[in-house]
Homo-oligomer: A and B are copies of this chain.
């Protein structure tokens, strides 16, 4: 009997610290954290009038600028610049041709100035011909050799620690957590499990055309140099509908490209939470919003109060930025 009591006590000791522990230690107590925790409690407590059954607890997160550093430019574009550079080095005739010249000069401003459609086209073209698996291996290898110009760390390690904690908490409370990104789906799948604990099948992103080819008796999948679907703005709503088939109850983004995703999420019935990460911390990260060519947040800032969306201040709400 003594052993049995010891067993029970052991069980109690094993579970008690978990309940007492702060699930979001990198968030300051500024009101934002409390509002997030209140929402999670409301939708997960069976007695709450806002209770949501487990199967409908869908949470969606933008990637670049919401979970991961996106300055001086989206990580995927840095990979493309490196690809352009290595192509130019092997084909000298391209060295004075744009965008290869800009890549050789590491002229990120010139690359950014090309604009989104041209950039997305470049992403598709520079990584064509590989299978999705080969591409993912190439991206994994690239992350190992690349460092951020300002922080000197591998780019897939410059995740936002407060958001990683939030994802973990949501999963513990029965949410299915998806990344819904404008970046290429295979690019983000290359690091989503390691960086956030989000498996490949929970990443929705822009897609390039794939083709199935036959090598003798064996099938191969090959990336074609053409964009299939751009998962940005209203495209994120379409991506969510096609892949999940349910309206999320929580959506976090950081730019106007996430506006429709937040709108779609919070226009559903019942308790909903929409939030923008506001990059207002020049000291520890970057300060940009209305006039930035990367991750512009303009309309979102204007409309957030009226739509009851949270604005997360990186400077005030977050104790720590990176892991």
Contacts and interface: CB of A to CB of B under 8 A. Distances in A.
B4 A207 contact: no
A210 interface: yes
A132 interface: yes
A238 interface: yes
B132 A260 contact: no
Contact of A212 (B2, B193, B245, B260): B260
Nearest to A247: B133
A176 interface: yes
Contact of A267 (B210, B218, B260): B218
A118 interface: no
Contacts of A245: 132, 185-186, 189, 200-201, 203
Given A176-B201, A200-B244, A238 B210 contact: yes
Given A4-B7, A201-B246, A234-B212, A264 B176 contact: no
Chain A interface category by residue count: 35 or more
A237 B222 CA distance: 11
A128 to B, nearest CB: 15
Interface string A265-294: 001000000000000000000000000000
Nearest to A235: B212
Contact of A221 (B4, B201, B218, B238): B238
Contact of A219 (B58, B203, B242, B264): B264
A115 B109 CA distance: 53
A267 B201 contact: no
A207 B238 CA distance: 11
Contacts of A132: 241, 245
B212 A237 contact: yes
Contacts of A176: 201
Contacts of A157: none
A263 interface: yes
A18 interface: no
A30 to B, nearest CB: 29
Interface in A60-95: none
Interface of A: 1-4, 7, 55, 58, 132, 176, 185-186, 189, 193, 199-201, 203, 207, 210-212, 218-219, 221, 234, 237-238, 241-246, 260, 263-264, 267
Given A210-B242, A211-B238, 20 more contacts: A1-B1, A1-B3, A3-B4, A4-B4, A132-B245, A186-B245, A189-B245, A200-B245, A200-B246, A201-B243, A201-B245, A203-B245, A207-B242, A210-B241, A212-B237, A212-B260, A219-B234, A219-B263, A219-B264, A243-B243
